Amino acid sequence: MRRLIPLALVALLLAPAAPAAAAATATGPTATGYGGAVASVDPTATAAGLKVLREGGNAVDAALAVAATLGVTEPFSSGIGGGGFFVYYDARTGRVSTLDGRETAPRSMGEQAFVDPATGQAMAFQEARVSGLSAGVPGSLATWDEAARRWGTRPLAAALRPAAQVARDGFPVDATFAQQVSDNAAAFAQFDPTARLFLPGGAPPAVGSTLRNPDLAATYDLIARRGTGAFYSGEIGRDIVSTVQHPPVAASPAQSWQYQIRPGGMTLSDLRAYDVRRPAPTKVSYRGYDVYGMATPSSGGSTVGEALNILEKSDLSKLGKTQALHRYLEASALAFADRNRYVGDYTPRPLLDALLSDGFAGERACRIDPAKALAKPVAPGAPDGRYDRHCATTSGGATPDKGLSTTNLTVADKWGNVVEYTLTIEQIGGNAIVVPGRGFLLNNELTDFNFTPTQGTAADPNLPGPGKRPRSSMAPTIVLQHGKPVLALGSPGGSTIITTVLQILVNRLDLGMTLPQAVAAPRASQRNTAAITAEPAFIDSAEGRALTALGHSYTPMAEIGAATAIEFLPHGKLLACAEPVRRGTGSAGTVR
């Protein structure tokens, strides 16, 4: 999100640092240089990360500064009320590790949690979302703490304190921020603490005004002083629990809301029980590169990985752009069919490995007809280790589309460590409930569960359950070649995250685009639905039109995703890249 940073804030973020010549640059969506790099959606956050790098912090220290700042300046897409997935390449060991900081269902949550007991039907999405019911136990703060302890060189408090200062001093409201409030005005108006913070005087804050969040500043300071126990077992946790159990509903909201606002069942013992998991990353080889991603409960790694394996069966660089894009769309639809059928929090690792096997990809790839788009939804395949049958299928269906929120950051340091981190509170604005006196929104991540079975059988891998984590699409991805990073990338965008990451990889690795071109290129997302969700520029392109002759059709969407990425060029040169246009433009910078 582009925001003009007041000079005083720039001075604060950069002082008392190095001389001007060494000053970090966070100028625009693309930056090339040395000594470390940061890309995020927001210039204040990118500047905070660059400052840490310049002062000798490593990629993890800087990523946590970026994340904590985004919690202030991008409160509708991230923050300590949410969760995310953190992927880390350690230059010393050459290993890629992941942290699963996904929100978790309370122990009281059953399979029917989102079925209205009065009607026996699945709740409307907004009814489920704007409630205490949708809030999972937040994982972001525990993720930050785990990353700082495991790989950082400074305590988490060092990331929280400057971000608290940004919250205290305030930051300028830009058009994207004001629009996000306005899109949520009715939901925000239902809750006194949310309306007080984000609807001053009953309306969205004016573009150019300064938004201050002293409650969040005090919350960050308290955690910096007392540690994450203040959140997971102390006074902040008690406030979270009482907010979930008794949503602070306004007595006379400025706007009406057609749904009942339901409480949730989260308890302090659910918060105390939260743990950050450390699953092995997913890994596939793609044309000589090793592509590492996020394992379950995210479907990011498995779905991007399966689609790449399918695509590797043909040489896209020799096919011509229309045919290459046709295969990209078909591979994505096939991989989504398998994701929907098999991937959830409890997918056994051998099944995940089978989904990522070359044998299974071969069986799936044989379904692609170069002359004609498959009828969608395609059925899932059978990842059973017996891949001699021709194009085996079972039954299953597509999953519906949901909203687009979340944020992504990419950081590299001068030692060669890399962080790729996607974090979220699910919908833009989460569940719309600010914890009173604490200054942050709660997530609605539990609506990422399927409300009722979607697969034509009771065996849906993504139904709610006690202590279960909802399936995600977040796909923080790090690409190595001969053990060294070549590319790191990720994006927000609900289930389009998967296709955005996949399309950028194909653009960069197969179609001869530079990284900025690969990120800027018009996007199309085929998630096993009848029509492809696509940006107008894709639909109107020569290839977009040619694809309709193969039977593809489109549902337009103004914009898809908001990627950030870093490419590792020869001799330590870094190319940091954010969106040139989408989400009001992103912010990339290098240390030198």
Instruction: Compare residues 312 and 426 and give the one whose CB is closer to ligand GLU.
Output: 426
Amino acid at 246: H
Location of structure tokens 């790099």: 37
Cβ atoms within 10 Å, residue 119:
8
Structure tokens, 480: 């190595």
**Shortest CB 269 distance to ligand GLU, Å:** 25
Number of residues that bind ligand GLU (CB under 6 A): 15
Instruction: Compare residues 332 and 472 and give the one whose CB is closer to ligand GLU.
Output: 472
Location of structure tokens 């039907």: 121
Going residue by residue from 418 to 457, which x/- string records binding to ligand GLU, judged by CB under 6 A? ------x-x------------------x--x---------
**Shortest CB 403 distance to ligand GLU, Å:** 5
The alpha-helical segments, DSSP class H, found in 107-174 are 125-129, 140-151, 157-169
Structure tokens, 551: 């039977």
Listed residue (71, 141, 66, 69) closest to 101, CA to CA: 141
Q: Using CA atoms, how far apart are residues 361 and 364, in angstroms rounded to an integer?
A: 5
Asked if 302 is part of the footprint of ligand GLU (rule: CB under 6 A), the reply reads no
Q: CA of 141: how far to CAs of 54, 135, 154, 310, in Å?
A: 24, 15, 15, 37
Asked if 474 is part of the footprint of ligand GLU (rule: CB under 6 A), the reply reads yes
| Interface positions, 75-94, toward ligand GLU (CB under 6 A) | none
**Shortest CB 76 distance to ligand GLU, Å:** 11
DSSP 465: -
Asked if 579 is part of the footprint of ligand GLU (rule: CB under 6 A), the reply reads no
Instruction: Output the furthest CA–CA distance in the chain (Å, rounded).
Output: 67
> Which span sits near ligand GLU by CB under 6 A: 39-47, 384-392, 491-499, 511-519?
491-499
SS3 480: strand
**Shortest CB 111 distance to ligand GLU, Å:** 20
| Among the listed residues 44, 184, 282, 472, the single contact to ligand GLU using CB under 6 A | 472
- Facing residues of 283 across strands? 292
Asked if 590 is part of the footprint of ligand GLU (rule: CB under 6 A), the reply reads no
Which helix (H) or strand (E) segment holds residue 494: the answer is none
> Which span sits near ligand GLU by CB under 6 A: 93-101, 199-207, 384-392, 470-478?
470-478
> Which span sits near ligand GLU by CB under 6 A: 135-143, 249-257, 493-501, 567-575?
493-501
Q: Give the DSSP letter string of 25-85.
A: ---BSEEEESSEEEEES-HHHHHHHHHHHHTT--HHHHHHHHHHHHHHHSTTT-STTSEEE
**Shortest CB 99 distance to ligand GLU, Å:** 15
Asked if 305 is part of the footprint of ligand GLU (rule: CB under 6 A), the reply reads no
**Shortest CB 491 distance to ligand GLU, Å:** 8
Instruction: Compare residues 140 and 406 and give the one whose CB is closer to ligand GLU.
Output: 406
Asked if 403 is part of the footprint of ligand GLU (rule: CB under 6 A), the reply reads yes
Identify the active-site residue in 406, 422, 533, 585.
406
CB distance 231 to 218 below 8 Å = no
CB distance 312 to 361 below 8 Å = yes
> Which span sits near ligand GLU by CB under 6 A: 45-53, 197-205, 273-281, 402-410?
402-410
Asked if 406 is part of the footprint of ligand GLU (rule: CB under 6 A), the reply reads yes
> Which span sits near ligand GLU by CB under 6 A: 258-266, 301-309, 469-477, 550-558?
469-477
Report the DSSP pairing between strands 532-534 and 524-525.
antiparallel
**Shortest CB 496 distance to ligand GLU, Å:** 8
Active site residue 25: no
CB distance 592 to 19 below 8 Å = no
Active site residues: 406
Q: Which residues bind ligand GLU (CB under 6 A)?
A: 403-406, 424, 426, 445, 448, 472-474, 492-494, 497
